[in-house]
């Protein structure tokens, strides 16, 4: 029997959505210590799994792994909330694949198999976080190959890791999860991304590149949570200008009000929306963690919505696999 556990991830945005530039996408994000997805698997002659999404991933995994894998009994012991911006789909897909593979003493080869599971098509952050954790900037895709329409599942390679840095031990990430409609996924996400790419201003990508090279990467390399928070928040605001027509503003409702409240609090170095939301992040540190948690609860109250508030550390290793 094999257990696989992996935390969520934050997705701060993309480096470029304009077809006028040589490379498309190029995501940045961090691996989180929690909340977690936990999947258990053991060998079987067929696939048995009560979780509908995990069952589909298990069936694909059995097919991908081939002989001598005949099947697996798969149990999802814990799962990230779906489509809130924490990478639930990739975490479940790769955890299921890894659990099935390791239950049969096989290397899961998550990067190679992720495309056939429908993962890593635009952003490589979830795959890279599963592999080794940390702060990750991926290389994106050649624009000529990966334009407005996403290729079919399996017909791409996961973006290479362009830069990875350890997350300092004293950094913390505030997670504010409003009770709101899930973020976009599947066909709806594809439609929104297609529209955003078709309209994307290339000048915004130039500004993002400046923030990445002159602010984000130096801040994480030097371990400054304060400068890192402000820099990734600026990347998020610039990305929001690409998505404004699709999500109703730089941030989707009710994220804008939550982010505005966090921006005004001294315990938060920078705040923004992870992926399509509604998850909101705030960058802080261990000394300010309690104040940051209180700020998150107050931000929900100010926005007039219920929700959950967590403060978690980063994760500097890959998913745990226990046999």
Q: Could you give the count of Cα atoms lying within 13 Å of 159 in the half-sphere of its Cβ?
A: 29
pLDDT for residue 190 is more than 90? no
| Better pLDDT: 15 or 150 | 15
135-189 confidence digits (pLDDT tens): 999 999 988 765 556 666 667 799 999 999 999 999 999 999 999 987 666 677 7
42-55 confidence digits (pLDDT tens): 999 999 999 999 99
What's the rounded mean pLDDT across residues 12-34? 96
Which of these, 133, 135, 128, lies nearest to 114 by C-alpha position? 128
pLDDT for residue 205 is more than 80? yes
Q: What percent of the chain has pLDDT over 90?
A: 86
**In this structure, what token pair is assigned to residue 234?**
């600026």
**In this structure, what token pair is assigned to residue 231?**
């820099």
pLDDT band at residue 81, thresholds of 50, 70 and 90?
A: very high
90-109 confidence digits (pLDDT tens): 999 999 999 999 999 999 99
* 128 within 8 A of 163, measured Cβ to Cβ: no
Number of CB atoms found within 10 A of residue 255's CB: 30
242-294 confidence digits (pLDDT tens): 999 889 899 998 999 999 999 999 999 999 999 999 999 999 999 999 999 99
Structural domains of the chain sorted by starting position, each given as residue range(s) with its CATH number in brackets: 2-322 (3.30.230.120)
* 125 within 8 A of 163, measured Cβ to Cβ: no
Classified as helix, coil or strand, 307 is: strand
Cα-based distances in Å from 173 to 30, 191, 273 = 10, 30, 12
226-243 confidence digits (pLDDT tens): 999 999 999 999 999 999
pLDDT for residue 72 is more than 80? yes
- Burial (0-12, 13-18, 19+ Cβ within 10 Å), 285: middle
**In this structure, what token pair is assigned to residue 106?**
């096989």
Q: What are 175's strand-pairing partners?
A: 281, 310
Cα-based distances in Å from 127 to 85, 168, 317 = 15, 21, 12
Residues 6+ apart with CB under 8 A from 194: 148, 149
- Residue 288 per-residue DSSP state: G
**Number of helices and strands in the chain (H, E):** 10, 12
* 9 within 8 A of 32, measured Cβ to Cβ: yes
* 31 within 8 A of 134, measured Cβ to Cβ: yes
pLDDT for residue 304 is more than 80? yes
Mean pLDDT (the chain) is 94
pLDDT at residue 184, rounded to an integer = 61
Q: Measure the CA–CA gap between 124 and 138, rounded to whole angstroms.
A: 6
């Amino acid at each position: 029997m094999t257990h696989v556990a992996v935390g969520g991830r934050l997705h701060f945005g993309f480096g470029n959505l304009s077809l006028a530039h040589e490379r498309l996408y190029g995501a940045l994000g961090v691996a989180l210590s929690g909340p977690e997805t936990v999947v258990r698997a053991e060998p079987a002659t067929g696939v048995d799994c009560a979780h509908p999404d995990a069952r589909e991933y298990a069936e694909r995994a059995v097919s991908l792994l081939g002989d001598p894998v005949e099947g697996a009994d798969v149990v999802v012991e814990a799962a990230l909330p779906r489509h809130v911006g924490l990478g639930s789909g990739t975490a479940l897909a790769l955890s299921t694949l890894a659990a099935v593979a390791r239950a049969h003493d096989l290397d899961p080869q998550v990067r190679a198999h992720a495309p056939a599971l429908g993962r890593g098509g635009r952003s490589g952050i979830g795959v890279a976080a599963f592999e080794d954790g940390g702060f990750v900037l991926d290389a994106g895709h050649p624009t000529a190959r990966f334009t407005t329409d996403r290729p079919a599942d399996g017909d791409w390679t996961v973006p290479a890791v362009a830069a990875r840095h350890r997350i300092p031990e004293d950094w913390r990430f505030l997670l504010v999860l409003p009770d709101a409609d899930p973020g976009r996924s599947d066909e709806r996400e594809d439609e929104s991304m297609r529209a955003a790419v078709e309209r994307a201003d290339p000048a915004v990508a130039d500004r993002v590149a400046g923030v990445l090279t002159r602010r984000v990467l130096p801040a994480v390399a030097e371990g400054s949570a304060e400068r890192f928070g402000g820099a990734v928040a600026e990347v998020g605001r610039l990305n929001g200008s690409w998505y404004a027509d699709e999500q109703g503003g730089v941030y989707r409702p009710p994220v804008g009000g939550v982010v505005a409240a966090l921006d005004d609090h001294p315990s938060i170095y920078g705040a923004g929306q992870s992926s399509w939301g509604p998850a909101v992040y705030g960058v802080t540190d261990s000394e300010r963690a309690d104040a940051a948690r209180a700020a998150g609860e107050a931000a929900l109250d100010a926005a007039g919505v219920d929700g959950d508030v967590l403060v978690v550390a980063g994760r500097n290793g890959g998913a745990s696999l226990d046999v």
